[in-house]
Amino acid sequence: MQHQSVLENWLRGIALALIVLFFMFPIFWILLMSLQTNETILRSPPSMVFSPTLSNYQAIFAGRLDSNAASLDIRFLGNLWNSIILSVGSVGVALLFGVPAAYAFARYKFRGSEDIAFTLLSFRFAPPLLVLLPLTSYFQTLGIADTYFGLIWVYQLICLPLILWIVRGYFEDIPADVEHAYRIAGHGWFATFRNIALPLARPGIAAAGLLAFIFAWNNFIFALVLASADKQPVTVGALAFVTASGIQYGQIAAAVVLSIAPTLALALYAQRYLVEGLSLGAVKG
């Protein structure tokens, strides 16, 4: 490595500090807000000196909100629960359908395989509303409007392509010889898939699954258009929460914190997979 001057090190340090500040500050500030009462939030100038309170979180967990227009029941915890069901369900289905397909695309070159694979990927890039708006009436006809089933199906639009393409890359990296040797030993196709291919591709599957989970959790537009009150995930719920709770800014902040906490925790816990997944399997660093 090259020699670096002291000045340069300082500049680097300052630049990095500023960058970390810019990207971390909003999260930090919202966290602070969530621990304050409206009174301290509204102080001018803003100050970081206050006695923290958990009352905002208590209000959310109690499910009851006293705003200035009326006191009302809130279903924010219900929203969190919906987010969990939808995200876990979507990733589960996407893995179930996506991993075998990814294996097929990686291992067998069959007629139309590239076209099919590309079509599946292109779903990731189509404008979501283009599909969602007509779906509103089809869902009604099919009787799956307002069901987790229907929503999880639509969530495949984001989860399935992701899993398919990242996992496919990993399967392609497994030397065919390894599988081949196993099969010669008399094992069937499925045993090979289960005992050789799957374990070897596990990092890729984990990365893709994690990323799909986060994208599903963070999705807003699908549920905005298709979910009814009792199926709403946090992203839609939090937006509605703003009007419902009106002036209770601390509670809005607490709701935001509760909504982003799961993905942030997951990201920190599984950062290695995440970086793999985010670089789209394109770069093996």
> Strands, DSSP E only, in the chain?
64-66, 71-73
Phi first, then psi, for residue 284 (nearest 5°) are: -100, 90
Of the candidate residues 9, 10, 29, 149, the single one contacting other proteins (CB under 8 A): 29
Q: Is the peptide bond before 45 cis (omega within 30 degrees of 0)?
A: yes
92 token code pair: 């589960």
Of the candidate residues 57, 97, 148, 182, the single one contacting other proteins (CB under 8 A): 97
Touching other proteins, residues 56-85 (CB under 8 A): 66-70, 72
162 binds other proteins (CB under 8 A): no
Alpha carbons 11 and 36: distance in angstroms, whole number: 36
Q: How far is the CB of 84 from other proteins (least distance, A)?
A: 14
Beta bridge partners of 64: 73
Q: How far is the CB of 58 from other proteins (least distance, A)?
A: 17
27 binds other proteins (CB under 8 A): yes
Q: Which residue's CB is nearer to other proteins, number 5 or number 51?
A: 5
Of the candidate residues 35, 76, 82, 98, the single one contacting other proteins (CB under 8 A): 98
Touching other proteins, residues 201-220 (CB under 8 A): 214, 217-220
Alpha carbons 231 and 44: distance in angstroms, whole number: 39
Q: Provide the mask over 122-141, with x wherever binding to other proteins is found by CB under 8 A and - wherever it is not.
A: xx-xxxxxxxxxxxxxxxxx
Q: How far is the CB of 54 from other proteins (least distance, A)?
A: 19
Phi first, then psi, for residue 64 (nearest 5°) are: -135, 140
Tell me the residue length of the chain: 285
